[in-house]
């Protein structure tokens, strides 16, 4: 059994976001980068749990990007996994291009289970898993909250409106993971030390189309200041609610 977990980097949720080149590019200088939480907390940790149950499982981690990803990959290796692969490219803004790189690595590696996060917390596209599945001609289960393996079969659950949907699918399969799949972990000292010597293989990208360009970015409007109204000034409160309050 071989599992491939796809990881991406995202800005820390506390990072101050600015843009450059006429608001067409994210200004990465000074940004604190983290492993995308959906990839780390749910896809990676669940894959580690599966490996803990069955030590014969081979667990590989995959990222697409430049050398600045290496520290993030090492952190993921500290949590668990046998080795990591990084596709060496600076083109990381087009989902189809990224999915094509993942699909090629997966095709060469012959993986039984390919896991991604439901989405990244920066672009929130939620498109990579489906694209990878299509490129590999594999079944795809999106936004799964539970995953168990039974031989060559995967049993999964998805939250749907009004209930829960149960799925059974034969391997190989592509799965995107969301809350409920696993609980977040923190690397321990043994894992951190072991990660230093685990293989991190760098491969060159394959030719693939880039289908999306970003025309412009803009920040949301700044929040207005809070207005305090005295408890005995009901008239002013009513006026503010009628004239200035906004429903979002």
Residue range 56-87, pLDDT digits in tens: 999 999 999 999 999 999 999 999 999 999 99
* pLDDT at residue 90 is higher than 60: yes
Please tell me the pTM assigned to this model: 0.86
Looking at residue 125, its pLDDT comes to 87
Torsion 143-36-173-209 (CA) sign = positive
Q: What is the CATH number of the domain that holds 96?
A: 3.40.50.620
How would residue 247 be classed by pLDDT, with cut points 50, 70 and 90?
low
* Spatial separation of the C-alpha atoms in residues 26 and 19, rounded to whole Å: 5
For residue 227, give Cα distances in angstroms to 180, 201, 233.
Answer: 39, 56, 13
Looking at residue 244, its pLDDT comes to 80
Residue ranges of E strands in the chain: 2-7, 9-11, 19-20, 25-26, 33-35, 58-65, 83-88, 113-117, 140-150, 153-160, 163-170, 173-177, 200-203
* pLDDT at residue 167 is higher than 70: yes
Residue 228 lies in a domain: no
What is the total count of domains within the chain? 1
How much is the mean pLDDT over the chain?
91
Residue 224 lies in a domain: no
Residue 64 lies in a domain: yes
For residue 184, give Cα distances in angstroms to 42, 76, 153, 180, 210.
Answer: 7, 12, 25, 10, 33
Burial class (CB within 10 angstroms; exposed 0-12, middle 13-18, buried 19+) of 230: exposed
Residue 25 lies in a domain: yes
Residue 243 lies in a domain: no
* pLDDT at residue 47 is higher than 90: yes
CB atoms within 10 A of CB 33: 16
Q: Which of 48-57, 83-92, 197-206, 221-230 has the lowest mean pLDDT?
A: 221-230
Cβ 86 vs Cβ 69: under 8 Å: yes
Q: Which of 224-228, 238-242, 244-248 has the lowest mean pLDDT?
A: 244-248
Which is nearest to 184 in space by CA: 36, 71, 19? 36
- Please identify which residue in the block is written with the tokens 């450059």: 20
Residue 178 lies in a domain: yes
* Spatial separation of the C-alpha atoms in residues 219 and 40, rounded to whole Å: 27
* Spatial separation of the C-alpha atoms in residues 224 and 208, rounded to whole Å: 45
For residue 202, give Cα distances in angstroms to 51, 69, 72, 84, 92.
Answer: 24, 11, 14, 9, 16
Residue 88 lies in a domain: yes
Residue 239: strand, helix, or coil:
helix
Domain that holds residue 169: 2-219
Residue 230 lies in a domain: no
- Please identify which residue in the block is written with the tokens 């490129």: 135
To the nearest 5 percent, what fractions of the chain are helix, strand and coil?
30, 30, 45
How large is the average pLDDT for residues 188-195?
89
* Spatial separation of the C-alpha atoms in residues 34 and 162, rounded to whole Å: 34
């Amino acid at each position: 059994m071989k599992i491939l977990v796809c990881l991406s980097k995202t800005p820390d949720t506390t990072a101050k976001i600015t843009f450059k080149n006429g608001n067409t590019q994210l200004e990465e200088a000074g940004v604190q980068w983290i492993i995308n939480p959906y990839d780390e907390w749910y896809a990676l940790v669940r894959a580690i749990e599966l490996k803990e149950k069955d030590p014969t499982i081979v667990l590989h981690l995959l990222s697409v990007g430049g050398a600045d990803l290496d520290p993030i990959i090492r952190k993921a290796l500290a949590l668990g996994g046998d080795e990591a692969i990084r596709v060496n490219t600076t083109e990381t803004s087009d989902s189809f291009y990224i999915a094509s790189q993942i699909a090629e690595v997966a095709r060469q590696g012959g993986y039984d289970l390919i896991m991604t996060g439901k989405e990244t917390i920066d672009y929130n596209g939620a498109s990579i898993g489906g694209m990878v599945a299509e490129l590999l001609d594999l079944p795809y289960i999106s936004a799964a909250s539970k995953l168990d393996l039974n031989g060559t079969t995967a049993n999964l659950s998805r939250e749907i409106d009004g209930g829960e949907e149960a799925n059974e699918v034969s391997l190989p399969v592509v799965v995107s993971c969301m809350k409920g799949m696993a609980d977040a972990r923190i690397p321990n000292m043994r894992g951190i030390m072991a990660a230093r010597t685990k293989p991190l293989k760098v491969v060159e990208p394959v030719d693939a189309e880039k289908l999306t360009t970003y025309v412009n970015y803009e920040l949301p409007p700044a929040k207005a200041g809070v207005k305090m109204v005295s408890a005995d000034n009901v008239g002013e409160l009513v006026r503010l609610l009628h004239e200035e309050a906004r429903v979002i």
